[in-house]
């Protein structure tokens, strides 16, 4: 697979504050697979195959970027995907899951109470007994095996560009953990938490880093840029994201990449970065999420780059 490109972004605020800003376009890794979810799956799927598992089972919400990426990656690698989905069967017709079904993912819907047990050892054992051939990947793909895949972003960047700061959105912490580990204190890594009360995230990252977590001391998760919580934002936030996209040509979605951009603009205003700083942004993809948002009337397809729907299937 080719390296995803790095582009410099031209924006009046960057001139004003005397910084240079670049973006690693992991949204362009592949026309379908979303950046960081693909990175996290790479060595999970490889391990499954090494163990001789033909099935991959994982968990997600009905609009999940991870489920979408898993379905496609499994199709591509001739693995059978099983998606354990939070919510009711009616969701199977939504944007994300109709693509997942199109790529032959088997969907199993569970209620919200049962879904809370997704990381519970007894519940996992029960699923493993039911699917004895399956390799089970946690929600979002965030486990130890996710780290080397994400780490390849750093390896690529080392060949592509020089920078002082690396910014990434943070959901579960798997992506930033992989960046931190491979980067090994070369750069200052800033995570922008996209959810409320993210104070626990640093511990999650340390747990993923495991023994030696203390050696990594050039990263930080900023918890003040969530804009109301996961998937939430104000009309003026959406306005600023769209304006940024128009000015720069970078496609955004409001759950992850859009929040990272607003955090960057706010940090510049707060004089967080010294003049002359070189800032690298990681575009983690996730544009498929716009499909479900448009479908629910949360955004307008006139404003946002909503992707194409799955062809209808009769199975």
Ligand X SMILES: *Cc1c(COP(=O)(O)O)cnc(C)c1O
169 is a site residue for ligand X (CB under 6 A): yes
Q: What is the C-alpha separation between 49 and 63, in angstroms, rounded?
A: 27
With respect to ligand X, which residue has the nearer C-beta, 79 or 170?
170
Q: What is the C-alpha separation between 284 and 29, in angstroms, rounded?
A: 10
95 is a site residue for ligand X (CB under 6 A): no
With respect to ligand X, which residue has the nearer C-beta, 96 or 98?
96
DSSP 273: S
Query: Rounded to a whole number, what is the largest CA-CA distance in the chain?
Result: 59
Closest residue to ligand X, Cβ-based? Answer: 286
> Are the C-beta atoms of residues 165 and 278 closer than 8 Å to each other?
yes
Query: Binder to ligand X among 65, 182, 223, 245 (CB under 6 A)?
Result: 65
Query: Binder to ligand X among 174, 251, 291, 292 (CB under 6 A)?
Result: 174
Q: What are phi and psi of 231, to 5 degrees?
A: 75, 0
71 is a site residue for ligand X (CB under 6 A): no
Place of tokens 């194409």: 308
142 is a site residue for ligand X (CB under 6 A): yes
Residues 6+ away with beta carbon under 8 Å from 278: 19, 20, 22, 162, 163, 164, 165
With respect to ligand X, which residue has the nearer C-beta, 53 or 170?
170
> Are the C-beta atoms of residues 144 and 210 closer than 8 Å to each other?
yes
Q: What is the C-alpha separation between 62 and 288, in angstroms, rounded?
A: 12
Query: Binder to ligand X among 175, 182, 223, 245 (CB under 6 A)?
Result: 175
285 is a site residue for ligand X (CB under 6 A): yes
Query: Binder to ligand X among 36, 44, 96, 245 (CB under 6 A)?
Result: 36
With respect to ligand X, which residue has the nearer C-beta, 98 or 142?
142
Query: Candidates 96-104, 106-114, 166-174, 293-301 — which segment interacts with ligand X by CB under 6 A?
Result: 166-174
180 is a site residue for ligand X (CB under 6 A): no
143 is a site residue for ligand X (CB under 6 A): no
**Burial class, 234, CB count within 10 angstroms (exposed 0-12 / middle 13-18 / buried 19+):** exposed
Q: By CB under 6 A, name the binding residues for ligand X.
A: 34, 36-37, 65, 140, 142, 169-175, 256, 284-286
């Amino acid at each position: 697979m080719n390296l995803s490109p790095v582009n410099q972004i031209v924006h009046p605020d960057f001139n004003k504050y005397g910084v240079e800003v670049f973006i690693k376009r992991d949204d362009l890794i592949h026309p379908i697979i979303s950046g960081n979810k693909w990175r996290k799956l790479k060595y999970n799927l490889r391990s499954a195959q090494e163990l001789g598992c033909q099935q991959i089972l994982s968990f997600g919400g009905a609009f999940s970027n991870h489920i979408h990426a898993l379905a496609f990656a499994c199709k591509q690698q001739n693995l059978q995907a099983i998606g354990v989905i939070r919510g009711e069967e009616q969701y199977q017709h939504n944007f994300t899951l109709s693509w997942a079904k199109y790529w032959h993912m088997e969907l199993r819907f569970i209620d919200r109470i049962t879904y809370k047990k997704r990381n519970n050892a007894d519940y996992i054992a029960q699923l493993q007994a039911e699917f004895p051939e399956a390799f089970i990947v946690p929600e979002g793909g965030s486990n130890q095996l996710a780290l080397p895949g994400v780490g390849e972003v750093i390896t690529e960047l080392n060949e592509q560009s020089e920078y002082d700061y690396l910014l990434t959105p943070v959901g579960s912490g798997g992506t930033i953990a992989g960046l931190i580990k491979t980067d090994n204190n070369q750069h200052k890594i800033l995570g922008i938490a996209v959810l409320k009360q993210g104070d626990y995230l640093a511990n999650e990252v340390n747990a993923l880093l495991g023994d030696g977590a203390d050696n990594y001391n050039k990263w930080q998760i900023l918890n003040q840029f969530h804009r109301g919580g996961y998937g939430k934002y104000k009309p003026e936030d959406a306005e600023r994201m769209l304006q940024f996209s128009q000015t720069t040509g970078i496609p955004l979605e409001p759950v992850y990449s859009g929040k990272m951009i607003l955090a960057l603009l706010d940090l510049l205003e707060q004089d967080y970065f010294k003049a002359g700083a070189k800032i690298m942004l990681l575009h983690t993809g996730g544009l498929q999420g716009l499909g479900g948002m448009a479908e629910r009337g949360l955004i307008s397809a006139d404003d946002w780059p909503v992707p194409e729907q799955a062809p209808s299937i009769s199975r």
